[in-house]
């Protein structure tokens, strides 16, 4: 039998007990809480690795949900950020660097004719939806099931598949992610399943003349990297044109990660509006809304309002300029994607040797793992599948020094440093092999069923 790993979290547990007295769940984001005795507090990060306050080291495939595309504390980007500090901070006025970075983005993404900066992906999508409503004069909008567009009321609607009967001739109920979201907002949101062309066309026929926008993540960054087929996104583009609806492609996670031109470049589809955030500045807080000039000019007095005290901060702009330069001019994207391919091949060999059926979804730079012959191509198929094996494997990976999201919804993210540090691959595969064997033992003992 494979020995069960032990990880000392004495200091992290003590920090949690102190923090929970002042911070809800002891953290500043609900998704950072992994349990009273397993919540991690980071001491530092460098390259593709992080260390917690107990001194445990991890190869990190979470990367803050994707921002550290080059790796933590990248010397080139941090040096640029320090130069940005010399500008002087926040002025609520503009600097020359805004145009420099906007020009960089426009060169890399043809659809980004005009650019506005924000601070987070949530802010960028909020602004994009407001822009679409202002431009079209309509209020309703279309979401794709399983997509994630940030923590704001309009985007926090999901198909409730708990207790839903897939064989029934009805759709699952649309419900909010949590409490505090006004039910009245629900009247404006429509949801469709991914990759169902007929349902997409039917929905546009029924509601298209009232829709301001369709929002889509062609690679779902909060649902295992489930991917839209090219024909689905192309149909979405055609239907938006037919009904006067703006197509918003949310590239908060895919932008400048899956390719220099984002997922839209790979699919060959040009959106009206795009949102970017995670990888733009290697972890420094910046996001942006970009799109067609005629649409973007609606950001004006008497049009769509947009602003923010900290938008286009000099430090983040300087970091973004250097990050984008590296991604555009060096083989960084190829390096991290190659690491992803080698990692998938290694994981596949481990699983195949044990007779475990599996598949992958997404892109080599951000992929999901499934214990099925083919990955699901929509949220309904994923939600009704058995992901208990993955969840238990992820539990053991933490104890073995590999950071992934504790459940199967989040893809594994690659960074350039993973590909430049050969030990990242060997350390990861060694841990995966142990985690798989431990999970197989639990499965044989019926523990996966007990925890389901």
pLDDT tens track for 123-149: 999 999 999 999 999 999 999 999 999
**Same structural domain for residues 26 and 98?**
no
Asked, for residue 50, whether it belongs to a domain, the answer is yes
Residue 236 — pLDDT band, cuts 50, 70, 90?
very high
The phi and psi torsions of 311 (rounded to 5 degrees) equal -65, 145
**Structure token digits, residue 12:** 């992290």
Q: Mean of the pLDDT values across residues 238-267?
A: 98
- Minimal CA–CA distance to 354: which of 450, 440, 270? 440
Asked, for residue 2, whether it belongs to a domain, the answer is no
- Minimal CA–CA distance to 220: which of 366, 78, 434, 119? 366
CATH classification at residue 129:
3.40.640.10
- Minimal CA–CA distance to 436: which of 402, 370, 392, 388? 392
**Same structural domain for residues 286 and 419?**
no
pLDDT in tens, 192-213: 999 999 999 999 999 999 999 9
* CB contact set of 369 (below 8 Å; sequence gap of 6+): 224, 347, 358, 359, 360, 390, 408, 412
**Same structural domain for residues 252 and 371?**
no
Rounded to whole angstroms, the Cα distance separating 180 from 183 reads 9
Asked, for residue 4, whether it belongs to a domain, the answer is no
pLDDT of residue 451: 63
* Strand-pair category, 140-144 with 273-276: unpaired
Query: CA 143, 146, 161 angle in degrees (round to 5)?
Result: 110
**Same structural domain for residues 161 and 285?**
yes
pLDDT of residue 3: 82
Asked, for residue 145, whether it belongs to a domain, the answer is yes
Counted domains in the chain? 2
pLDDT of residue 169: 81
**Same structural domain for residues 162 and 281?**
yes
Asked, for residue 3, whether it belongs to a domain, the answer is no
Inform me whether the pLDDT recorded for 273 exceeds 60.
yes
Q: How far is CA 147 from CA 64, 178, 218, 445, in A?
A: 18, 16, 9, 35
**Same structural domain for residues 280 and 366?**
no
Asked, for residue 48, whether it belongs to a domain, the answer is yes
pLDDT in tens, 148-198: 999 999 999 999 988 788 777 888 999 999 999 999 999 999 999 999 999
Distance of CA 172 to the CA centre of its chain: 24
Percent of the chain at pLDDT > 70 equals 99
Rounded to whole angstroms, the Cα distance separating 233 from 197 reads 9
**Same structural domain for residues 416 and 372?**
yes
Distance of CA 127 to the CA centre of its chain: 18
CATH classification at residue 17:
3.90.1150.10
The mean pLDDT of the chain is: 96
Do 389 and 241 contact (CB within 8 A), yes or no? no
Q: Mean of the pLDDT values across residues 256-282?
A: 97
Asked, for residue 26, whether it belongs to a domain, the answer is yes
Asked, for residue 5, whether it belongs to a domain, the answer is no
Identify the domain boundary among 295, 329, 363: 329
Among the ranges given (246-250, 318-322, 358-362, 407-411), the one the predictor scored with the smallest mean pLDDT: 407-411
**Structure token digits, residue 181:** 């979201």
Distance of CA 427 to the CA centre of its chain: 25
**Structure token digits, residue 312:** 């286009």
pLDDT of residue 449: 64
**Same structural domain for residues 355 and 290?**
no
In terms of residue numbers, what domain contains 214?
75-329
Do 218 and 404 contact (CB within 8 A), yes or no? no
Q: What is the pTM of this model?
A: 0.96
Q: Does residue 118 sit in helix, strand or coil? A: strand
* CB contact set of 206 (below 8 Å; sequence gap of 6+): none
Exposure of 61 in the CB half-sphere (CA atoms within 13 A): 33
**Structure token digits, residue 198:** 């007929």
């Amino acid at each position: 039998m494979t020995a069960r790993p032990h990880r000392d979290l004495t200091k992290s547990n003590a920090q949690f007990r102190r923090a929970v007295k002042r911070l809800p769940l002891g953290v500043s984001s609900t998704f950072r809480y992994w349990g009273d005795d397993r919540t991690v507090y980071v001491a530092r990060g460098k390259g593709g690795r992080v260390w917690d306050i107990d001194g445990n080291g991890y190869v990190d495939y979470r990367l803050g949900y994707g921002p550290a595309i080059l790796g933590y504390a990248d010397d080139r980007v941090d040096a640029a950020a320090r130069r940005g500090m010399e500008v002087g901070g926040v002025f609520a006025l503009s600097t020359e660097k805004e145009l420099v970075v906007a020009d960089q983005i426009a060169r890399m993404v043809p659809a980004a004719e005009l650019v506005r900066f924000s601070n987070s992906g949530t802010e960028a999508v909020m602004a994009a939806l407001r822009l679409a409503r202002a431009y079209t004069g309509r209020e309703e909008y279309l979401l794709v099931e399983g997509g994630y567009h940030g923590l704001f009321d309009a985007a926090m609607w999901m198909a409730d598949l708990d207790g839903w009967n897939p064989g029934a001739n009805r759709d699952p109920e649309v419900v909010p992610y949590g409490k505090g979201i006004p039910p009245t907002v629900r009247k404006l949101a429509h949801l469709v399943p991914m990759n169902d062309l007929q349902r997409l066309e039917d929905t546009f026929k029924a509601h298209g003349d009232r829709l301001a926008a369709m929002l889509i993540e062609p690679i779902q960054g909060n649902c295992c990297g489930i991917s839209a087929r090219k024909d689905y996104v192309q149909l979405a583009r055609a239907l938006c044109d037919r009904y006067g609806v703006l197509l918003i492609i949310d590239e908060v996670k895919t932008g400048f990660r899956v390719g220099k031109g984002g997922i839209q470049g790979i699919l060959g589809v040009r959106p009206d509006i795009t949102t970017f955030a995670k990888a733009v500045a290697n972890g420094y807080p910046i996001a942006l809304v970009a799109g067609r000039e005629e649409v973007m000019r609606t950001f004006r007095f008497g049009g769509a309002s947009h602003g923010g005290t900290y938008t286009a901060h000099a430090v983040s702009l300087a970091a973004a300029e250097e990050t984008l330069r590296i991604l555009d001019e060096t083989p960084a994207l190829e390096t991290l994607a190659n690491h992803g391919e080698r990692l998938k091949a290694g994981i596949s060999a481990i699983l195949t040797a044990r007779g475990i059926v599996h598949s992958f979804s997404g892109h080599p730079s951000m992929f999901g793992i499934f214990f099925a012959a083919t990955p699901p191509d929509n949220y309904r198929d994923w939600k009704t599948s058995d992901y208990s094996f993955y969840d238990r494997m992820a539990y053991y990976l933490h104890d073995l020094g590999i950071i992934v999201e504790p459940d199967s919804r989040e893809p594994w993210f690659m960074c350039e440093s993973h590909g430049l540090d050969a030990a990242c691959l060997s350390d990861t595969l060694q841990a995966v092999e142990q985690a798989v064997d431990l999970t197989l033992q639990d499965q044989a003992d019926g523990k996966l069923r007990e925890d389901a």
